[in-house]
């Protein structure tokens, strides 16, 4: 992109006041994602005059045909035969694209003629079907009324990507000549009937649809939630997300001490407890023994003749259930008593059954 300063008032004519002295604007390579180019050079336009040998183009109406000033730029047609250029200015102007030869006749054929006016901003022109290797000329024109006020114009030129391209790996690009997948669309795609995706669908940017059906895991009053890396799953927006059946803990039991507290420990498999669930959801655990219960953990009681508590710790894929007393650390009879008549630790029977519930 090139910065053109349309500052008309001055003494000396600009170097590109005539087409044979047109300043060349290099045509950059096509950006396969359609990103704009950036300004890199500043041009000054001072005291421009009209080129009378080249007739006014059709887009200049009679009321605007007097006291016109112009400057000239040129571009070399790339191998694709297509050029895209953008003009941005805070003042009105005409731009005309010509093809022809710069000789004594100064005869050019206009291939595009546009009037740049408010609302101001980027206005793009795409030219296709040009002869490769030839030169096209761009004529920027302003009337006396326009010329009395200075203004800025920006010009960006690049090669235009073909509508459809197929690379040597047989990947198809629409709006891009460097496809990154079997089908790569740069721009807006409309699917009028249905789209079936066998594995994954990646969308970079906005995704709009009138109807979206994702059946796996869907249920009434569920919403999609995402983890930290963007993996989504259905989750109930109200109440309970998941409720297990009654489960038996492992037959293995462990005696351990944590921070001076002696614990009887068993393990309960809970595959639904992912790291996302543990970090974002409320989990409750209940236990029962045969027809007695259920009771919610933590559960404090005096069973076994000593006050004790059954509670749990959550881990990825499992629940660690433990039982402890508050002033007793004698796991078995082989351990000497610490005080007269010190009882043994209350056991954690395997007959206990557990149920865990994940809440939204």
pLDDT of residue 149: 41
Per run of 10 residues, the mean pLDDT along the chain (length 360 residues) is 44 77 87 64 65 76 62 88 79 79 71 71 80 89 54 75 77 78 78 75 71 73 72 71 86 75 87 91 92 90 82 93 80 72 76 90
Distance between CA atoms of residues 162 and 81, nearest Å? 10
pLDDT of residue 284: 93
Tell me the C-alpha to C-alpha distance, in Å, between residue 213 and each of 109, 221, 232, 327: 55, 14, 14, 57
Strand partners, 156: 86
Distance between CA atoms of residues 117 and 59, nearest Å? 13
Locate 21 and state its tokens: 């002295």
Cα–Cα nearest to 309, from 355, 263, 251: 263
pLDDT of residue 278: 92
Distance between CA atoms of residues 167 and 182, nearest Å? 10
Fold observed for domain 2-159: Jelly Rolls (2.60.120)
Domain extents for the chain? 2-159, 162-212, 247-359
């Amino acid at each position: 992109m090139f910065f053109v300063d349309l500052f008309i008032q001055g003494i000396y004519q600009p170097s590109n006041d005539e087409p044979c002295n047109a300043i060349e604007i290099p045509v950059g390579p096509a950006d396969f994602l359609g990103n704009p180019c950036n300004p890199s050079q500043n041009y000054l336009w001072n005291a421009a005059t009209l080129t009378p040998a080249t007739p006014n183009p059709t887009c200049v109406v009679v009321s605007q045909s007097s006291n016109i000033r112009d400057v000239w730029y040129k571009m070399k047609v790339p191998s694709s035969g297509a050029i895209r250029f953008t003009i941005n200015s805070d003042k009105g102007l005409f731009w005309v694209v010509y093809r022809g030869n710069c000789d004594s006749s100064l005869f050019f054929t206009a291939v595009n003629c546009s009037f740049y006016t408010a609302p101001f901003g980027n206005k793009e022109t795409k030219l296709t079907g040009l002869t490769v290797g030839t030169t096209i000329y761009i004529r920027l024109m302003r009337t006396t009324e326009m010329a009395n006020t200075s203004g800025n114009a920006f010009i960006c030129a690049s090669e235009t990507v073909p509508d459809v391209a197929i690379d040597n790996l047989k990947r198809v690009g629409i709006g891009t000549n460097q496809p990154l997948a079997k089908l790569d669309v740069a721009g807006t795609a409309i699917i009028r009937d249905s789209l079936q995706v066998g594995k994954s669908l990646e969308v970079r940017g906005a995704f709009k649809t009138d109807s979206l059906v994702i059946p796996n895991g869907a249920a009434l009053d569920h919403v999609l939630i995402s983890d930290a890396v963007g993996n989504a799953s259905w989750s109930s927006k109200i109440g309970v997300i998941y409720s297990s059946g009654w489960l038996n803990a492992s037959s293995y039991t462990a005696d351990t001490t944590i921070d001076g507290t002696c614990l009887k420990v068993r393990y309960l498999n809970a595959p639904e407890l992912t790291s996302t669930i543990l970090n974002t959801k409320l989990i409750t655990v209940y236990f029962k023994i045969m027809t007695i219960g259920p009771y919610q953990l933590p559960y404090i009681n005096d069973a076994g003749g000593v006050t004790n508590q059954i509670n749990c710790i959550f881990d990825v894929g499992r629940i660690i259930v433990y039982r402890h007393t508050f002033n007793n650390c004698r796991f078995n009879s082989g351990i000497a008593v610490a005080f007269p008549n010190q009882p043994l630790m209350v056991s954690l029977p395997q007959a206990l059954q557990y149920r865990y519930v994940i809440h939204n």
